Structure 1
Amino acid sequence: MRLSFLEPLYKQTGPFASVYLDTSRDRLIEDPDAAIELRWRRLRAALTSEGADQDSLIAAAEAVGSDTNIPGAHGQAVFTAHGRLALLDELPDPPARDTAHFGTLPDTLPLVVQHSPQIPYVVVHVHYSGRHSTDAPGTVRIEAEIGLWPLTKVTPGHRVHEEIPVADWLNAAEVLGRELEGHARRIDAEAVVVAGDMWARGILVRRLPPALRGRVCTLEGAGESRPGRALLEHRLESLFSGRMAEHDRSLLAAFLAQRARDGASAEGLAPAVSALQRGRVKALFLNHHPESPLRLWAGPEPGQLALTEQELRSYGLQDVREERADAVLTRALVGTRAELVLVPDEQVRLHEGVGVLLRYAERTPRF
């Protein structure tokens, strides 16, 4: 997963207030605004106890709950620094629990986790309920969305709406297929999901360009679509749950291949830190453990990280702090433009939960 969306945040200086809270607005909550305000009061008290300045608290308060246009279950990630909003992002799902932290580095890993797995996709819903014949009256209605899962749950992607007379459906399906191919190529879509009437969707699938046909997954039934949310959201949730993006899978395969032959890879916190210090990491693999006790020392710059305070001070650094390892590692990845791949423990268990694929292998000296 590329972390370029975090670059604007790390261009700013801390300390940062990092806030994650549930801002759901659904039918189960009688007064969502009051519920959000109550959650925010608790978090504000926590930030105050950690030394957050009043201006940063005010900036966060102005952002909290501002996503009134997003229906259903979701959350917000709010980052402020020096009295200004540093980053505001919508969470596709409510956080497991509301949290707030004030410190030198922003607490960004929960946001990264919510961006995962970043699967580029095209979904098409073919609405038709008439007679299965091209001489039937009526229309075939098309809804399509091109987006990145799961972000389209709260930030809908490009939408296509078409209404086509049934008599024109055979030719129109071919034209639509070429249009969808253009959108899919632009985002390098790895899945083309087609749902709706079996007869009408079958015509579309058979007329899709070959490059798309090999990526098609058909879903039975219609499924519910809600305004302001991803098209066929719950069906996509079932389809993509537990799945890694193809790009991440290819990085993991390269890591495992290098590990098998003692090549350009390493496992454990110490080797990962060493490689990040030298800007050698192509991708870091992480078994996500939200309550990990691992800590690292960090200096002002992304590449200034170490296992001990003494190591950083030996480089002549005076402004060093001990921080959560995930916060230090994420900043280093963004600063060196390396990628992050979240790997479930049951798939690959990494030593200390960390592994790295290097940009190049160390050369073995010849004697």
Structure 2
Amino acid sequence: MRLSFLEPLYKQPGPFASVYLDTSRDAAIEDPDAAVQRRWRRLRGALMSEGADRDSITAVAGTVGSDTDVPGTHGQAVFTAHGHLALLDELPAPPARDTAHFGTLPDTMPLIVQHAPGIPYLAVHVHYGGRHSTDATGTVRIEAEVGTWPLTKVTPGHRLDEEIPVADWTRAAREVGRELEGHARRIDVETVVVAGDVWARGILVHRLPAALRPHVTTVQGAGESAPGRALLEHRLESLFEGRLAAHDRALLDAFLTERARDGASAEGLAPAVSALQRGRVKALFLNNHPESPFRLWAGPEPGQLALAEQELRSYGIHEVSEERADSALARALVGTRAELVVVPEQKLWLSEGVGVLLRYADTPSRA
């Protein structure tokens, strides 16, 4: 996963207030907006206890709960600095728990994890309930959406919605397919998910351009998609659970290959930190442990991180602070333009939850 979406945040000076809040508008709650504000008030106390300035707290207060147009379960990630909003992002799922932190570095790893797996996809729902014949009356309706999973849950992708007479469906399906290919190509789609009437969708699938057909997965049923939510959301949830994006799978395969031959890879926090200090990391692999106890020392620059305070001071760095390891790692990844792959522990256990694929292997020294 590329982390370029965080570059604007790290270009701003800290300290930062980082807030993760469940902002779901549950119909079962009598006054959901009041519930959001109650949760925020609890977090405000946490920020004050960590020394957050009043202006930064005010900036958060003016932002939390502003996503009233986002339906269903979701959350917000809010980052402020020096009284200004630094970054606001909608979370596809509510955070495991509401949290607030004030410190030198923004707490970005929970946000990064919610962007995973980042699969570019095309979802298509073919609506038809009539007689399976092209001389039938009525229309075939096509709903389609291109997006990146799971962000499309809260940030809708480009939509296509067309109705075509059944009598014209065999001919028109080819034109629809070409239109879908154009949208899919723009985001380098790796999966095409098609649901709906078996007869009508079969005609579409067989007339899709050759470049799309190998990526097609058909699913039974579809379920009703709530307005403003991802098309085929529940089917996509099941299909993509535990899956990595193709780009991340390729990085993971490269890591496993290098590890098997003791090549350009390493595991554990200390080797990862050493490689990041020297800008050698191509991709970092992380088992997501939100409550990880590991801490690192960090200086003002992305590559200035270490396991011990004295190491940084020995380099002549005077402004140092102790930080959560994941916060320091995230800043280093963004600053060195390395990538991050979140790997479920059951898929690959990593020593101390961390592994790195290096840009190049160490060159053996000659005697």
The TM-score, its normalising length taken from structure 1, stands at 0.99
Distance between the aligned counterparts of 1:112 and 1:28, measured in 2?
A: 30
Matched, 1:275 2:286: no
| Contact kept? 2:273, 2:305, Cα under 8 Å | yes
Separation of aligned partners in 1, 2:345 and 2:233: 27
Percent of aligned pairs sharing the same letter: 79
Give the C-alpha shift of residue 26 in structure 1. 2.5
Q: CA deviation at 1:27?
A: 1.4
Q: Which consecutive residues of structure 2, in runs of 5 or more, have no partner in the other structure? A: none
One-letter amino acid of the structure 1 residue matched with residue 116 of structure 2 = S
Q: Mapping of 1:1-367 within 5 angstroms?
A: 1-367=1-367
Task: Report SS of the residue matched to 2:160.
Answer: strand
Residues 43 and 98 in structure 1, CA contact (< 8 A), matched pair in contact too? yes
Q: Distance in 1 between matches of 2:241 and 2:225?
A: 18
After TM superposition, where is structure 1 displaced by more than 2 Å over at least 4 residues in a row? none
Distance 2:38 2:223 in 1: 35
Is the contact made by 1:280 and 1:359 (CA closer than 8 Å) also made in structure 2? yes
How much does 1:180 deviate?
1.1
Partner Cα separation in structure 1 for residue 366 and residue 248 of structure 2:
35
Deviation at 1:366, TM superposition (A): 2.4
Question: Whole-Å Cα distance in 1 between the matches of residues 266 and 58 of structure 2?
Answer: 44
Query: C-alpha offsets along residues 101-121 of structure 1, whole Å, 9 cap, x if unaligned?
Result: 000000000001111100000
The CA deviation at 1:306 is 0.7
Write the deviation string for residues 151-193 of structure 1: whole angstroms up to 9, x where unpaired. Answer: 0000000000111111111111111111111211211111100
Equivalent residue letter for 2:306: A
In the TM superposition, residue 307 of structure 1 has moved relative to its aligned partner by 0.9
Deviations 1:55-95 (A, max 9, x none): 00110001000000001110000000000000000000011
Distance 1:180 1:366 in 2: 57
CA distance in 1, matches of 2:329, 2:96: 22
**Cα distance in structure 1, aligned partners of 2:348 and 2:27:** 40
How many pairs were matched up? 367
Q: Counterpart of 1:289 in structure 2: which amino acid? A: H
Residues 250-292 of structure 1, C-alpha deviations (whole Å, 9 max, x = no match): 1000000000001010111111111101111000001111111
Distance in 1 separating the partners of 2:358 and 2:337:
13
Distance in 2 between the 1:252 and 1:132 partners?
A: 45
Distance 2:160 2:315 in 1: 56
What SS does structure 2 have at the residue aligned with 1:163? strand
Q: Does the 8 A contact of 1:197 with 1:222 survive in 2? A: no
RMSD: 0.7
2: CA distance, partners of 1:129 / 1:246: 35
Q: Provide the C-alpha distance between the structure 2 equivalents of 1:270 and 1:93, rounded to a whole number of angstroms.
A: 32
Q: Secondary structure at the match of 2:62?
A: helix
- Tell me the secondary structure at the aligned position of residue 171 of structure 1: helix
Q: Distance in 2 between matches of 1:41 and 1:346?
A: 37
Q: Secondary structure at the match of 2:218?
A: strand
Q: Which residue identity does 1:125 align to in structure 2?
A: H
Cα deviations by residue, 1:16-59 (Å, 9 ceiling, x for unpaired): 00000000012122110010000000000110111100000110
TM-score (norm 2): 0.99
Q: How far 1:207 sits from its partner (Å)?
A: 0.5
Counterpart residue type for residue 169 of structure 1: W
Structure 1 distance, partners of 2:365, 2:165, is 72
**Structure 1 segments unaligned to the other structure (5+ residues):** none
